[in-house]
Amino acid sequence: MLIENIKSPDDLKRLSSDELRYLAEELRETIIERVSINGGHLASNLGVVELTLAIHYIFDSPRDRIIWDVGHQSYTHKLITGRYERFSSLRKHKGLSGFPKIDESNHDAFGTGHSSTAISAALGMLVARDHLKMRNEDCGMRNENSEIRNPKSEINKVIAVIGDGAMTAGIAFEGLNHAGHLKKDLIVVLNDNEMSISRNVGALSAYLNRILTGDLYKKFKKDTKAFIESIPKLGGPFSKIAQKAEETLKGLFLPGLLFEELGFNYVGPIDGHNIELLIETFKKIKNADVPTLIHVITKKGKGYEFSEKNPCIFHGVGPFEVETGDPVSDKKVLSYSEMFGRHLTELAGNDKRIIAISAAMREGTGLECFAEKYPDRFYDVGIAEPHAITFAAGLATHGLRPVVAIYSTFLQRGYDEIIHDVCLQDLPVMFAIDRAGIVGEDGPTHQGVFDISYLRHIPNLVVMSPKDDMELRDMIKLGLRHNGPSAIRYPRGRIISNFKFQISNSELEMGKAEVLREGDDIALIAIGNTVHPALVAAERLEKEGIRTSVINARFIKPLDKALIFSVSSSIKRIITIEENVLAGGFGSAVLEYLNTTDTHDVKIKILGIPDEFVEQGSQAILRKKYGIDEEGIYNACKSFLSIPLSVL
């Protein structure tokens, strides 16, 4: 197999065009096989195989920095940069990341688990390159032996490969605008697999690109401009007319005037699966000294029938059967995302004020059923979380009930809008925070372990977390009734519905927790999906004669202060449990409240995520690591009880 002999991008440069095409097929087979076992991002990676090969064939990574945006399309990049033998560990605990990671390989120029950051980061690298070059030259002038050397400063070109989805975010255009202003030699590759301009891909477009990137054309353009501008009195006006004529001609065939206006030389669109054309194009623009954008058309899921037909389903997948495309996991039990979508759709039937908003995550947040039934009340704003939030705030000012469904880790991107546009104005916007807590194999960029901390200190905001499906539905209803901002955080994965013991589902009241078990030796106050493991641990402790109270907090804000005070007055050992960082989390809220009361003899232990980024791995492995699974809670109770109160 060719792929086994590719140890670095240098090995590509010795291959013929036929060998590169054969290698592309091997890479697709490898990606499909591994993702079918480990899960991961399939469609996006199958779409960029030839593009990745062409970029590495012409450019010289890591001296030429390549930034993948979003980084979930970097599997081919990993395979040809010395990580083929480790590819079986993709997304596994202690294995290869599913995204570029700067401490994993010197070929990973920048971490891009979130989208739309590549252009800004690439521009920063180019500016750093030029600053460091000037510093070295200055030092050399003063002292020949005092050259400042920094491996990271030894940069030649910087290439930002950005998807059309990532290009919908404001920060991408902020980067383009600044890059056009600075006129650095930035190269942006727009990987387009959604826009309807694919009709421009073909012989005519390819011919125009050859002309527009050729030296003869560029020299003619430069010389003609200089000649016209040299004509006394007429030069300026004629130059503008000539420029307008050129833009009109290009505009007949090319959708690049926007990028030209931002200061970029636009090339494209070109066929992203024609490796010879890609190589020819990159070869011509490699030494460009102005900002250049290459528009490439690719097909998501290319080379795998099921992924080509359903690229959304195969965007991010769990393990599946290669022969059929069917998932390996049991789909009989619905996920929190799916149940959220069903509940909201049902409630929308009786309340026409409900508007659902997604930031390019319709399927991921379970809103496809809502979108199909109420298309006039569903808005997918693209990867534009700040806009989604302020858009919702505008809707709420006129009596509507917008629901913004966003993953916890992506909601971080709209932090200021949550405070300034929603909560400060006390508007009835509901945030449905999916993937809250430990997410798993997607790693530190996607773990939703900060939302309690960055939300609970905001005035006017109600923050809830359900223990099960019934509470999820009740919290959605409560949030929609509430005449102010609210947030519901719920985890990734299937809903636990078959408890081994009877569990209370008392009526949901604003700010009221519920007691699930009573005992006077130790109390467990759990929130969200930590309630079930707390109950299992309590049952085990009961068999050993340890009487354990279990409280389902339900509300992070407002806290049920009356119940917490009552518990702390009679039980002197309390453990709080959450899937959130300890700093500023739910346990901190309990401590802050108890610090204002007279129950200073109560001893508190907080279980949660310490001050570190959560690595990749299965949810089970990570919950065990941080002691917030059933075994960890049980052990924490035993350890806590073994210490006399007098020394705690």
Give the residue numbers annotated as catalytic, written as ranges: 300, 385, 413
Please choose, from the candidates 511, 499, 560, 564, the residue with its C-alpha nearest in 3D space to the C-alpha of residue 535.
499
**Which residue type does 535 have?**
L
CA distance 344 to 355: 10
Rama region for 617: left / alpha / beta (φ>0; ψ in -120 to 50; rest): left
Q: Is 221 exposed, middle or buried (0-12, 13-18, 19+ CB in 10 A)?
A: middle
Residue 380's CB is within 10 A of a number of other CB atoms, namely: 16
Please choose, from the candidates 396, 380, 592, the residue with its C-alpha nearest in 3D space to the C-alpha of residue 486.
396
CA distance 170 to 133: 31
Report the SS3 class of residue 271: strand
402 φ, ψ (degrees, to nearest 5): -75, 140
> Which residues does residue 187 pair with via DSSP β-bridges, in sequence order?
159, 292
Give residues with Cβ within 8 angstroms of 178, minimum separation 6. 120, 123
- In this structure, what is the dihedral angle of CA atoms 66, 70, 76, 82, given to the nearest 10 degrees? 50
Give residues with Cβ within 8 angstroms of 459, minimum separation 6. 423, 424
CA distance 389 to 378: 14
> Which residues does residue 526 pair with via DSSP β-bridges, in sequence order?
552, 577
Q: In the chain, what's the furthest Cα-to-Cα distance? A: 101
